[in-house]
């Protein structure tokens, strides 16, 4: 079982990713560069918002000063650590949380 991660324990780059995904709510990021296990924001990844027509948008939950991150964040950051340096081709977001990632993998 993975240890709980607190928002306050994140690097500034990972903290910014949490903030961006919470604001996006639904959609995806494309070509998110990972360097030294952290997301890089220059160049800016393509951010695509998805809107479900005919449904009412729920308000964005208020951010607290600090909180425990959900398991999806722990799993995402574990992948960042394993990748080290690379590119996340696509990071899908559902309800402000990372949902699915796609990246190139070298198979020996």
User: pLDDT per residue over 4-39, tens digit each?
Assistant: 899 999 999 999 999 999 999 999 999 999 999 999
59: in domain: no
d(Cα 91, Cα 39) in Å, to the nearest integer? 12
Domain that holds residue 71: 8-47+67-103
The total number of structural domains that make up the chain? 1
**In a domain? residue 57:** no
User: Is 104 within 8 Å of 79 (Cβ atoms)?
Assistant: no
Q: Note the pLDDT of residue 56.
A: 78
Q: What is the pLDDT of residues 36-80, one digit of tens each?
A: 999 999 999 999 999 989 877 776 666 667 889 999 999 999 999
pLDDT band at 1 (very low <50, low <70, confident <90, very high): very low
Q: Which of 17, 40, 39, 37 is nearest to 80 (CA)?
A: 37
Cβ neighbours of residue 48 closer than 8 Å, sequence gap 6 or more = 27, 28, 29, 30
**pLDDT of 61:** 65
């Amino acid at each position: 079982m993975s240890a709980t991660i607190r928002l306050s324990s994140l690097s500034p780059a990972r903290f910014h990713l949490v903030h961006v995904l919470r604001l996006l709510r639904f959609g995806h990021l494309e070509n998110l560069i990972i360097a030294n296990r952290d997301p890089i924001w220059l160049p800016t990844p393509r951010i695509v918002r998805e809107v479900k027509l005919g449904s009412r948008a729920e308000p964005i939950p208020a951010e607290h000063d600090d909180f425990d991150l959900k398991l999806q964040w722990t799993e995402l950051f574990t992948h960042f650590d394993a990748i080290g340096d690379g590119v996340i081709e696509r990071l899908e977001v559902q309800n402000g949380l990372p949902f699915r990632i796609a990246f190139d993998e070298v198979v020996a």
